[in-house]
Amino acid sequence: GAGVSQTPSNKVTEKGKYVELRCDPISGHTALYWYRQSLGQGPEFLIYFQGTGAADDSGLPNDRFFAVRPEGSVSTLKIQRTERGDSAVYLCASSVDSNTGELFFGEGSRLTVL
Amino acid sequence: GQNIDQPTEMTATEGAIVQINCTYQTSGFNGLFWYQQHAGEAPTFLSYNVLDGLEEKGRFSSFLSRSKGYSYLLLKELQMKDSASYLCAVRDVKNTDKLIFGTGTRLQVFP
C-alpha cells in the first residue's frame, strides 16, 4: 500500500481480555516499529523488527505484551490480560532500514480498556 | 540511555518566528529527527540532521550541534495550521539504532 496501515483504528475492550493490533508497513520497508502514546506525551518505544526478527524489544512493559512479524512484512502486537493502564494509542511505523532514513507512521490504533 | 528534553508548551503569533529547542544525551549519536503531530493524527517527518549545522526546508529549518547535544527547530512566517506538537527524536547507534522521542512541544499559534 501507499502508507502504513493499522487496524483496528479503535478498540474498546474489557479488563482481562486479549487484544491484537495489526500493522501493515510500506512495501519494501525492512524495519518496523511499535510505539505507544498517551495523551500529551511523546511516542514511547516498545519494540522494533529488522526483517522477521525483533532487533530490540526492550520497551515492552511486561510479559503480557508480545509482537510478531513472521514473514517480515505485517506485524501483530498482542496484549494479554489487558489492564486499564494499557489504554493508549498504539503507533506503528516503518522505515527502509533500521539505521538510516525517517520513520513513516500509521494513524494508530486507539485502545481503550474499561 | 537517552535523555531528551524539550519545552512542554510554547505560544506564538501568526506571522512570527518561533524556535523550539531540544537537548539530548546519547553515547552513540546517529541522527536527530523532528516530527510534527497534529492532535489526533500520526507524527509526520519534518527534518533530519546528522552533521552539525543548519538544514533549511521552506519555512522550517533545523539546527544541530553534536558537541553540545543540542538542536532547534525554527519555524518562520507562522500560520495557524502550524499549531501542533513538535517531537524531537534521537537515534543512538549504541542503543540498537532505535528512534527515541522526547515528550514533544505543543505549539499554539494565535491570530
Q: Summarize pLDDT for B68-104 with one digit per residue, the tens.
A: 999 999 999 999 999 999 999 999 877 777 889 999 9
What number is the average pLDDT over the span A97-109? 85
pLDDT greater than 70 at residue A99: no
Residue B103: how many other CB atoms lie within 10 Å: 18
Q: Do the chains contact at A99 and B30, CB–CB below 8 Å? A: yes
C-alpha cell of residue A111: 485502545
Q: Do the chains contact at B91 and A99, CB–CB below 8 Å? A: yes
Average pLDDT along chain B = 93
Q: How confident is the model at residue B22 (pLDDT cuts 50, 70, 90)?
A: very high
Q: Do the chains contact at B101 and A55, CB–CB below 8 Å? A: no
Closest by Cα among B27, B30, B67, B68 to B49 = B30
Residue A73 contacts residue A18 (beta carbons within 8 Å): no
Q: B48 touching A, CB under 8 A?
A: yes
pLDDT greater than 90 at residue A107: yes
Tell me the pairing of strands A44-50 and A31-37.
antiparallel
C-alpha cell of residue A92: 506503528
Interchain CB contacts (distance < 8 Å): A and B: 55
- Which residues have C-beta within 8 Å of that of residue B89, sequence separation ≥ 6? A42, B4, B32, B33, B34, B35, B99, B100, B101, B102
- Which residues have C-beta within 8 Å of that of residue A13, sequence separation ≥ 6? A19, A82, A111, A112, A113, A114
Residue A4 contacts residue A104 (beta carbons within 8 Å): yes
Residue A108 contacts residue A8 (beta carbons within 8 Å): no
What number is the average pLDDT over the span B47-74? 95
Residue B82: how many other CB atoms lie within 10 Å: 20
Q: How confident is the model at residue A1 (pLDDT cuts 50, 70, 90)?
A: low
Closest by Cα among A29, A13, A21 to A90 = A21
Q: B102 touching A, CB under 8 A?
A: yes
In chain B, what residues touch A91 (CB-CB under 8 Å)? Answer: 42-43
What number is the average pLDDT over the span B50-58? 94
Which of B33, B97, B104 is the closest to A99 by Cβ?
B97
- Spatial separation of the C-alpha atoms in residues B64 and A48, rounded to whole Å: 26
Q: How far A100 CA lies from chain B's nearest CA (Å)?
A: 8
For B86, the closest chain A residue by CA position comes to: A42
